[in-house]
Structure 1
Amino acid sequence: MFRPLAAATTAALIMLGLTALPASASPEAALPEAAAPRPAKPAPNAPQVAAAAQTLTWTADDRIDAYASAPTTATPGETTIVFENSEATGNTTFMTHTLTFDTSTPGYNHDVPVNITANPLDANGGRWEQTVNLTPGKYLFHCTVPGHSTMKGELIVSAGGDDTTPPTVTARITGEQNADGAYLGSATATLEATDAGSGVGTVEYQLDGGAWTAYTAPVTVNTVGDHMLHYRATDNAGNTSPEGMESFTVVEDGGGEDTTPPEVGAEITGERDAEGRFLGTATITVTATDVGSGVELVEYEIDDTGFKPYTAPVQVTAVGDHAVQYRATDAAGNASETGSTPFSIVEGGGGEDTTPPEVTAEVTGEQDGDGNYVDAAVVTVSATDAGSGVDSVEYKLDSGEWTAYSAPVTVNAPGDHVLAYRATDVAGNTSPEGSESFSVVEQDTTAPTASATVVGEQDPDGNFLGSAVVTVTAEDEGSGVDTIEYSLDGGEWTVYTAAVQVREPGEHTFAYRASDLAGNVSEEGSESFTVVADPDQDVTPPSVSAMVTGNQDSGWNYLDNATVTLTALDLDSGVALVEYKLDDGDWAEYTAPLQVGAGEHTVWYRATDNAGNTSVEQSGSFRVIEVSTDQCPDSDTRDTVWIGSENTYVPNKDTGDGCTISDLIAQDDDYPTHTAFVRHVRQVTNGLVTEGLLTSTQRDIIVRAATRSDVGISSAAV
């Protein structure tokens, strides 16, 4: 059974398979052996050496989803890599991070062995340097600590040349959020674009379907409701990035639920007589708006016939007195009051509608110099009727039958064509037939062009060490590329979907071809290369450790639940997979700390690196017992957490032993200073985030409220 590291009333940290530390041990000694700084790195007092041509700096903080800062571009040559993960960069929880350059993912450079582990409590205070030689291309960097998989990015090293690569552009939405992730009062969108070639020329954004606008500074959105931000960037060579998109919601400041129903109204239009009665036809249009959660449903009812969903204007032609009722419901379930508008219809205009509809057609598509449509032509028919309204639209292609028109007609058969069209209104009037003549020329007969490149680390003889990565590209200016295929060493043709990594030592021939949408197939191309064994190939498995945390009694039993956290490190190829098995269960991938309930438990764990090396299976046992005693009989049971006179609007949850979050914050206790109170609040809320009782956003809200409070100030003054 594991032995505890702390008293029963505090969270205990247990290293599975490791010896417990004495109470006098320094925090630095608590780091797992595999996470200790590598001695090869220079000590703080090492002799000064000549500076490299450029210095690139990465920083990390308390986040586990992204580096605090990271470069995106560089130039080739000698470079000083700096990785700092310290209190100065915002790491206040003493969390370990790594800066690791990927050495296996196809499409990236694999010639820089950067794998730096840093912690604010290590020998260098979390700041390490390494000198490397960067080569043109792309490097993928990431953090290998389990649970930190989204801490990654790309470093583009450019040696110049014609720029054909569009910029990389990203968006970041920030602001105070509620428990549902909605932004309180406003959200700020920040766009960042980089281009390793000619440089970024312009950055643009489009908010909620509006016009594209030049981005010059972060955009603040304070309109309540759902929003969608599109963004793109163009470099100085004219290359434009694919559009990116971020969606988010802004609610009223304070984070309360939407309790305001939509606003709804109706407009009735049509030709009228002198007394305001509609002649022959009345058209009803219902509109609804909601600045909170948004309109979910609009309904209408005519003359007590039952409510129906409203989707488009409604025409009423029955002579007599009528009334339309209408209502709307928003996404939060708030329903408007029912509105009602009366109207009357009389026989129209002293006679029936005798005017046929007006109907037109438009032909679109790519055309050659003679006006012929290349591969296909699209015919769109439109009809209007100011009287009784359009009833039907029909078309006839060449010598075919009349057919009901419901959507644009695509004609892709080569030759001359005539498309006739007509429309009929509700009163039975049919328009004269119209027609459009056009020609479609022969379809694409030109095959695509395909090419392949082979990359990887090579020896002086040009052989690829360990593996070679083959990338195939194809272009077609006609109908477009349909499929790319490849055959390795005379094997079957296989559809190409991503870069192919060849690891088998020996001589290889990689054949490839491409087909376009018109069925034209390119000539077969091929690349020949040799793969040899890499003398520096990673044969060392990762190191893996486990930690159990939770409240314990005097018998070292965990009370109510325990949290198992696994950590793995690999200084060569990097960690690919961490697995665990709890009790008699199956092996499963580890992605987040495990919450374990009452009972006798054994957890098994192992890790595998990107080179396929798997660590020896390890295990540890512990016991969790249920606790029924209410630890806080005089509990603060308010619905939300209050700090002084400030309501944080964070739900005041029961933490599992009868104590609420407010009880643990204990703002009524005596604190020697205000700083001591804020530090206590930070420690408590960090633990609640680890236990899943608070989100990181909720923790930050509570800590900020504690900072603004006056708890501990009067004591310090005395």
Structure 2
Amino acid sequence: MRLAVASLAVCLLTMSLFVLVPGSEAGSWTCGGTPYATNPGTEVVRNGGFENDFASWYTRAAPPSISIAVRHSGTKSARVLSAGSAPTRLWWLPPNTMTWRVWTRNGGTDTVRTYPMTLATGTWHLLETVVDGDLGIQCLFIDGTYVDSLSVSPASTFTPTVLAFGDISTAGDAGDAYYDDLSIQDAGPPIPDYVPTSPQPPGSIEIGEFLSLPLSIRVMNQGTGSANATSTMSLFNESTPYSPFATFSLPPMGVGEIAGPFTATWTSPGVPGTYRIVAEVDTSGAVAERDEGNNRYSWTATVYPPPITTLALGSPNYLGTNVTSATPLTLSVVDRSGHGILRTEFRIDSGPWVPYSGAFTLSGEADHLVEWFSEDNVGNVEAVQGLSLRLDDTPPTSTSVIAGPSYGGQFIASASRVSLSTVDGGSLPVGVDVLQYSLDGQAWTQYVAPLGFTGPDGPRNLSFRARDLLGNTEATQSLHLILDNTAPASTSSIAGPNYGGPFITSASRISLSGADGGLPPVGLSVLEYSFDGQLWSPYSGPLGLTGADGARTLYFRATDLLGNAEAPRTLSVILDDSPPTSMSTIAGSIYGQFITSSSRISLSTVDGGSPAVGVSGLEVSLDGQNWNPYAGPFGLTGADGARTLYFRATDLLGNAEAPRTLSLILDNAPPTTELLTSPGMISVASRFSLSAGDAGSGVASTEYRVDGGRWIPYTGAFSLAVGDHVIEYRSVDRLGNSEPVRTASIRIENWKPLLALAFSIVLIIVGAALALRRSASGDSRSRRNAFLIGTVPFVLAEAATGIASWMTGVLAIPPDLDMGTFVDVGIFVAGIVAAILVQWWIRKPGVRPPPA
């Protein structure tokens, strides 16, 4: 038989077992979404021959069904084959390999698929294909169960109205089914014969522990007569025949009638082994049958233990619970069923289950729960196993700490100690395994205690690293150190006044400087100083000394930034802020400020300080002129007048005393003396006075002499006797400047004697005249007595004052209105009056003049 059909794509998915008996097939298929019903006219082969070509084809109008039955003995390949351009070819190679090949026409690509498939030997299997030319779909069914489907490319290889079931036979007529080796059975008496048929699953059962397996079976009356009684069908374990796990009631069945399927669930035991499950028809024997020995169908079930899956941790790992993201995780399965592992799956942190295909890793630092299980090909599903793993990808972090002298994280001294410490990183650290160090590129050494450094000054390189228990190793860290055990060296210098080394002033500045040692040096930390053993103070700039003069000791020292300190150095100095003290003395003429050109001014100076540095120079300046060095005593010249002498001394440190001032008045001019007389006519009453004036130091003394006599210190006015006189006089000032002798010629007039004489003569005349007038009334004695009483005394008084004035100058006249005039006039008037009164008195009657 020849069929023209398009090339089809074929699909195979899973397997089901179906025992076939002669007669019409009942069932339906869905391929590509289209349902197909079984063609009742199709027969199946029951004899024991090997059938390899059995097919039929139909158009869409025909009932779309075809069945292909292949019986095999377990030693041959069962195949469905078409001649020429066969669209389908199916091989089954015992015990568990099924290959399905689909050819395509007109430029399509052949497809071959191989499936693990186990078919029980010694029983019938129904192999069926459905080809739909419209959809370009070919589907595969084994024992009535859909296995797989494939789309044919290109779909146009099929005639759109062609629908084919099964393979295409190599012989026969088109449109007819081809039956090969069909057995014909003779008919007997009409007796029913119940037989179990169409067991599901067909054949032996291989199953895991504690699994529920649906068993189904049909009951067929293959006898020649109908039954007339209701019977029972039971399913039970062979070992417990009186304890069925399922019982079904069967009404009377007609010839060829099939009842069922009857389905029950059998649960496999938890103990591995071989078990037989029996389906028995007409358990109670209610129906008399042609063959009572064919009422049972037995499934042989082999129960296998489940697989054991083990999770192996690759390297690195620690204690079987700590891993890194590089640690391979491997699942290994022990297949205790011997039927192969269907699947092994795992999941992480309750995520979706993932088929295991090879080593896997974890990611993300955290505690991870890895769960896994395996399922073998007999349905054993291993209990889910789990292991909590802690992932740590973070290496430790090491740090260094320098204890003791250090600066800038680099400079250290031999007393310094470098401590290393490490902390394992990550959110869930596994812990540190080892901390190592290497000095200057030498071998790595495990760190156990703080490190010290010896040897010459200079750079040192300390490398260190830590590794955790998973082998996570931090990047090597380096600590670049410089060993410096050399102390600084400091020096001092003095700026400003300085003499002989030790002598300074408070204006002097002592500068300190320090230079640090080391290769390279760390640098100065502090430069300190102390005066006279007092507290140390940081040096911040040039130093000056204050306080009392005297010896001082400056201690100074430098310390570098590591604390290396030099031994204190000493600078002995003598503070001398005291300037010299200058003095002036004047030899020769001096009075107060007044001097003469012959005076000699001497300057001297004494330096201050304890001890004193000594005088450098003594300078003098006159009236603000230039300063000149003092060379010795000197005098002043020039015009008389005020002079200001400035002088100052400076010691060897430049301490200069404030200029001293000597205010002088140069006085070389002698005094000037004047002779002064009383106002009016010069007389013995005249007083001569000397008035000396000096424009300079003042008059010290004035002296005079009269008529070449001895010099008499002038102490006050003096008078001269009557006559011609020569007065010499002179003055000397307080400096000894002597005035040249001055001379004055003086004549002293004294009219007193002459006036006394004149008054005496007048008195005598008047007295005599009055006495003579007495003669008329008296005797001569009376006249005489009147003259003697009234005139003579006054004449004698005038004579006496005249003589006395002439001899002594007393009562001298001039002055005209002086005492001499008053005396003379008084005596004269008194004499006149006395003479008159005496004469008057004498003339009284009875009066006698007193005796003379």
Same fold (TM over 0.5): no
Structure 1-normalised TM-score? 0.20
Larger Rg belongs to: 2
Q: Which has the higher contact order (CA 8 A, sep 6+)?
A: 1
